[in-house]
């Protein structure tokens, strides 16, 4: 099981530029509604700021038009190609999802399906354009399923070429059978989750900085 | 997510004999120590008693010698063959396991590996000797992983020929990052888990009785 | 692992009416394109016909408008409520999905998210309207992930109140790293998959007939 | 799905010392018998040698006495403490497991349970002694379950503080329903698996070298 640990500081690698951070939030709610998943992702972002200059964007997938399909562009108003561009530019990508019956949301799953077309579009790159990027995962749910959800994402991410630093994930899940109305309140009181977010932020930034100066360069 | 429901009664099928119930408890603790998993399994057993005469046995796997291997009998003092006999005689088998990093315990996993040899030993039966038996699942853990653990068991059980009634499982998991010392206390207060155990007990007995009079008979 | 078995016949319960069968196909392809998942579901349907009169419908989810959300009806042209009606009327529901990175497709996941609202709409029923229905699962993928995908569906289905007969699933997955262009051809040659479909069809019909005359009736 | 890719070379970081590599093989077979899992792990080791001096050891867990339990040392002849020492000394640890019903073997699961005691024993270290180590995963199975097995290991490994480089895993799984007697032969012919092993070896060595000179140092 996850053992809570106090947060510990560390020296950062030398890189002093700005890191690009992209959050893909698979919440089923639109931007106008508050999202537990987004709030936890924001906490990670906040903690990153103490380690580096960052330039970040949070995309609420529920507000985007991302049709099902196998192509790089599925329709005239398909917003996936723009998101794909942003993934390509980011140094750190956070995959943030609520849990629905033991798995990621349909919106997060859609993104994963569409990422399969990376290879087709970028003939001179494909998934290799994702090499030297760092991935992090944020999961929230009323109860159960966080580790199943994040572990399945991890296996996809490693084969997509992302680097996964130690403690690359933060999650909150409550006790089974509680009233979901209090989820937010219980999450905010949870000290272990706060420390997970801090350590995760530290390690994501550490690895992103390190890989800026020491990337894997294929030839 | 799991939605807690009040317990509801139902009429039982006519069968009035005694049902044999076997619990395989994969807790890492020996019989002398209390086990959250076993207590929840016992609660299911208690509730079964109000629906049928039952004859039950709980096997604490931590107290048995069950070596790793692929054969039906792996050593002189291998206790698996006796357990296999008990499984064959039971009408209802409960697979009860704690969660360790998102999966069943090594003791429960060992049982599953050994069940693979059912086919070899019983040439005129194999997994088919498990047809018309009903399976239930009991899972406990300090936090997260219940549904991943029970779902993986379900897929094995269906291919092994067990019937899985509606709500065939009961589980308790706590909020992430809490002190495991209070797990038992929080579990005992959890009304949703109590109702899961009640409904599960009702449905397991219903199906076991129904299949006694209406088994699938292959030819 | 799954051990292939020859198909065996059995006597069916007495019920002689027509069984309603609904297939929800989560393939990412539209109806105009052939789908491995649908062809395997059709094979299950074909085999059902030798055991019972059936009335069936296959819904290609890629052709329906099913928006993300938590309500019973999310927009004027939301097609989920009609699908929900069909689920309520069916005796057997097949959940058919391709595998995408170890999990069900976004279209199948969407259905599961929308099923969460069953409870809200049917105040005098909710998930209980699904009691005494039988579920089956069909999974196909170029390689790996069938059991993870079907097991996660099973855990959702049991808590939704579906009955899961022995061998309630059929799947095809190929060897890792093969050319997906030949998937169909290799699947069609696979004798084990054909037998899975046959046994699954037999058991789904057996249980559906049995539950017609012996349902769990809550009070 | 996993898309096979040709292997590509890359420059390595400067570190020129010897890297310690430990393989934990959870095969159910003893050393005297050949193991698919071990052969694939050996292929990864072979490929590492072209990138660095390495000093490696493969532990066949089936040959060790590792009792179930929660303590650091469970009995007089408990061999876990020695294995724990070796993990502490290694730069790269490979977790190699066969698949049994969608999950890791009982022997690999046992190791994971015992790793939970790292925290207790090393009061001034615990899981933090695992920081800056690199983990890789090797999975083989007759059919299905590789990604579920490796993904569940990944989630445990990240929280244990291991770094997971891009493409940190290699696996072989065959088509469903084939004769396991030919598994080895089919695996050896599989070009995609060979490339997975090569890229994995390259990335594990790259990260291990990089972290030797640029470790995270907590204070």
Between A10 and A125, name the one with better pLDDT: A10
Identify the bridge partners of residue C163 per DSSP, sorted by sequence position: C134
Residue B6 C-alpha, separation from nearest chain A C-alpha, in angstroms: 12
Within 8 A by CB and 6+ apart from B189, the residues are none
Check A164 against D168: CB less than 8 A apart.
yes
Q: Taking CB atoms and an 8 Å cutoff, what residues of chain B touch D148?
A: 152
**pLDDT on residue B70:** 82
More confident residue, A6 or C209: C209
- For chain A, say whether C142 makes contact (Cβ under 8 Å): no
For residue B113, the SS3 value is helix
Strands (E) located in chain B:
18-25, 53-60, 92-100, 103-104, 134-143, 169-174
Considering only CB atoms, which chain A residues are within 8 Å of B190?
175-177
- What does the alpha-carbon distance between residue C203 and residue C104 come to, in Å, rounded to a whole number? 23
3-class SS of residue D19: strand
User: What CA dihedral angle connects D94, D95, D97 and D101, to 10 degrees?
Assistant: -150
Average pLDDT over residues A173-194: 96
Q: Contact C146/D141 with Cβ under 8 angstroms?
A: no
Q: Kindly indicate the confidence band of residue A126, based on its pLDDT and cuts at 50, 70 and 90.
A: low
Give yes or no for D106 touching B (CB within 8 A): yes
Dihedral pair phi/psi, residue B127, rounded to 5°: -60, -20
Measured between beta carbons, the chain C residues lying within 8 angstroms of B214 are 13, 210, 214
Domain range list for chain C? 20-213
Residues A144 and A102: beta-carbon distance below 8 Å? yes
Residues 187-216 of B with CB under 8 A from D: none
Which residues lie across from C59 on neighbouring strands? C24
First to last CA, chain A: 41
Q: Which of C86, C81, C69 is nearest to C118 (CA)?
A: C81
Task: Identify which has the larger pLDDT, C5 or B95.
Answer: B95
Which residue in chain C is spatially nearest to B125 when comparing CA positions? Answer: C5
Chain A residues 155-194 within an 8 A CB cutoff of chain D:
155, 158-169
Other C-beta atoms within 10 Å of B3: how many? 15
Chain D nearest C-alpha distance from B78 (Å): 15
**Mutation site, D103, D116, D119, interface B, largest B CB count within 10 A:** D103
* pLDDT tens digits, one per residue of C42-80: 999 999 999 999 999 999 999 999 999 988 889 999 999
pLDDT more than 70, % of chain B: 96
- Asked if D171's CB is within 8 angstroms of C174's CB, the reply is no
CB < 8 Å to B158, chain C: 154, 164-169
* Residues with Cβ within 8 Å of residue D213, at least 6 apart in sequence: D13, D14, D15
The CATH number that domain C20-213 falls under is 3.40.50.360
pLDDT bin (cut points 50, 70, 90) of residue D122 is: low
User: What is the C-alpha separation between D193 and B150, in angstroms, rounded?
Assistant: 31
* Closest chain B residue by Cα to residue C148: B152
Contact C28 A113 (CB under 8 A): yes
Q: How many residue pairs bridge chain A and chain D with CB atoms within 8 Å of each other?
A: 110
Query: Which of D166, D103, D115 lies closest to D139, judged by CA?
Result: D103
Q: Are B96 and B25 in contact (CB under 8 A)?
A: yes
Residue of chain C whose alpha carbon sits nearest to that of B116: C1
CB of D136 within 8 A of CB of D51?
A: no
Please judge whether A147 and B147 are an interchain contact, meaning their C-beta atoms are less than 8 angstroms apart: no
pLDDT in tens, D193-214: 999 999 999 999 999 999 999 9
How far apart CA C22 and CA C54 sit, in angstroms, is 10
State the pLDDT at residue B123: 45
Q: Which DSSP symbol is given to B163?
A: B
Phi, psi of D119 (to 5 degrees): -65, -40
Range in A111-125, C193-207, D7-21, D171-185 the model is least confident about:
A111-125
A102 interaction partners in chain D (CB closer than 8 Å): none
**Contact of A98 with A26, CB cutoff 8 Å:** yes
Q: Does A64 touch chain C (CB under 8 A)?
A: no
Yes or no, beta carbons of C152 and A102 under 8 Å apart: yes
- Contact list in A for residue C105 (CB cut-off 8 A) is 68, 109, 113
- Count of CB atoms situated within 10 Å of the CB of D47: 20
Dist. CA A36–CA A27, nearest whole Å: 9
∠ Cα B196 B198 B199 (to 5°): 70
A9-47, pLDDT tens digit by residue?
Answer: 999 999 999 999 999 999 999 988 999 999 999 999 999
A: neighbours with 3+ CB pairs under 8 Å?
B, C, D
pLDDT value of residue A117: 77
Contacts of A152 in chain D (CB under 8 A): 147-148, 151
Give the C-alpha separation, C101 to C48, whole Å.
31
Residue C123 pLDDT grade (very low, low, confident, very high; cuts 50, 70, 90): very low
Q: What is the CA radius of gyration of chain A?
A: 17
CB contacts of B168 in chain C (<8 Å) are 158, 164
For the record, the structure tokens of B176 come out as 């992430």
pLDDT tens digit sequence for B124-152 = 556 788 999 999 999 999 999 999 999 99
Please determine, for the modelled complex, whether the ipTM score is greater than 0.90.
yes
DSSP D131-149: TT-EEEEEEEEEES-HHHH
Residue A160's pLDDT is what? 93
Q: B104-115, pLDDT tens digit by residue?
A: 999 999 999 999
User: A29: which 2 tokens?
Assistant: 């709610």
DSSP structure string for chain A: -PPP-----BPPPS--SEEEEEEEE--SS-TTS--HHHHHHHHHHHHHHTTSEEEEEEEEGGGS-----SSS--STT--HHHHHHHHHH-SEEEEEEEEETTEE-HHHHHHHHHHTTHHHH-TTTGGGGGTT-EEEEEEEEEES-HHHHHHHHHHHHHHTT-BB-TT-EEEEEE-TT--GGGHHHHHHH-HHHHHHHHHHHHHHHHHHHHHHHS---B-
pLDDT at residue number A19 = 98
Record: contact A152-D150, CB cut-off 8 A: no
- The model's pLDDT over C2-33, given as tens digits with 9 standing for 90+, comes to 778 889 999 999 999 999 999 999 999 998 89
From the list A2, A163, A166, the residue facing D162 with the nearest CB is: A166
Residue D123 has pLDDT above 50, yes or no: no
Residues 6 or more apart from A120 whose CB is under 8 A from it? A71, A72, A126
Q: Residue B60: its pLDDT value, please?
A: 98
Q: What's residue A123's pLDDT?
A: 46
- What digits encode the pLDDT tens for the residues A61-108? 999 999 999 888 999 999 999 999 999 999 999 999 999 999 999 999
For A19-174+181-213, CATH number?
3.40.50.360
Q: Quick check: A2 contacting B, CB < 8 Å? A: yes
User: What CATH architecture applies to the domain D18-213?
Assistant: 3-Layer(aba) Sandwich (3.40)
Q: Report the gap between the CA of D162 and the closest CA in chain A (Å).
A: 5
Residues from chain C contacting residue B1 (CB–CB below 8 Å): 116
Whether the Cβ atoms of residue B72 and residue B120 lie closer than 8 Å to each other: yes
User: Is D173 close to C176, i.e. CB distance below 8 A?
Assistant: yes
Put simply, the answer to whether C175 touches D180 (Cβ < 8 Å) is no
- Decide if D102 and B69 are in contact by the 8 Å CB cutoff: no
Residues of A in contact with B192 (CB under 8 A): 176-178
- Cβ <8 Å between C28 and A68: yes
pLDDT at A130 over 60: yes
Identify all chain D residues contacting A122, using CB atoms and an 8 Å cutoff.
none
Name the minimum distance, in Å, from the CA of B113 to any CA of chain D.
Answer: 7
Phi, psi of D26 (to 5 degrees): -90, 20
The predicted pLDDT at position A4 comes to 80
Does residue C121 surpass a pLDDT of 60? no
Q: Is the pLDDT of residue C174 over 70?
A: yes
Task: Judge whether C147 is closer than 8 Å to chain B, CB to CB.
Answer: yes
Owner of token pair 């071990």: D38
Six-digit token string for C49: 């016909």
Q: Which of A26-30, A127-131, B174-178 has the lowest mean pLDDT?
A: A127-131
Q: Of the candidates B28, B104, B156, which has its C-beta nearest D68's C-beta? A: B28
Nearest to C173 among D176, D180, D191 (CB): D176
Q: What is the CA radius of gyration of chain B?
A: 17
Indicate left, alpha or beta for B145 from its phi (over 0: left) and psi (-120 to 50: alpha): left
The helix/strand/coil state of D163 is strand
CB contact under 8 A, C103 and A101: no
Within 10 angstroms of residue B77's Cβ, the number of other Cβ atoms is 8
How near does any CA of chain B get to the CA of A176, in Å? 6
CB-based contact A156 C101, cutoff 8 Å? yes
- Which of C 4-43 lie inside 8 A of A, CB atoms? 28
pLDDT at residue B55 is higher than 50 = yes
d(CA D128, CA D218): 9
Give the angle subtended at the CA of D124 by the CAs of D120 and D126, to the nearest 5°: 45
Is C151 in Cβ contact with B155 (below 8 Å)? yes
Can you give the pLDDT at residue D67? 95
State the pLDDT at residue A219.
86
A114 touches chain C (CB under 8 A): no
Instruction: Check C110 against A112: CB less than 8 A apart.
Output: no
């Amino acid at each position: 099981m996850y053992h809570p640990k106090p947060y510990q500081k560390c020296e950062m690698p030398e890189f002093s530029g700005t890191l690009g951070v992209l959050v893909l939030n698979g919440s089923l709610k639109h931007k106008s509604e508050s999202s537990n998943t987004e709030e936890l992702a924001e906490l990670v972002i906040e903690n990153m700021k103490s380690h580096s200059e960052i330039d970040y964007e949070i995309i609420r997938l529920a507000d985007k038009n991302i049709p099902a399909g196998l192509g790089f562009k599925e329709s005239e108003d398909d917003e996936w190609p723009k998101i794909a561009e942003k993934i390509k530019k980011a140094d750190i990508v956070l995959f943030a999802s609520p849990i629905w019956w033991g798995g990621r949301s349909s919106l997060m799953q859609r993104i994963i399906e569409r990422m399969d077309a990376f290879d087709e579009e970028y003939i001179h790159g494909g998934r290799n354009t994702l090499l030297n990027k760092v991935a992090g995962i944020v999961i929230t749910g009323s109860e159960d399923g966080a580790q199943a959800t994040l572990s399945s994402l991890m296996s996809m991410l490693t084969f997509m070429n992302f680097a996964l630093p130690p403690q690359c994930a933060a999650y909150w899940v409550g006790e089974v059978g509680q009233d979901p109305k209090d989820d937010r309140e219980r999450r905010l009181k949870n000290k272990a989750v706060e420390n997970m977010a801090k350590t995760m932020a530290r390690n994501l930034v550490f690895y992103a900085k390190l890989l800026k100066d020491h990337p894997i360069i294929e030839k």
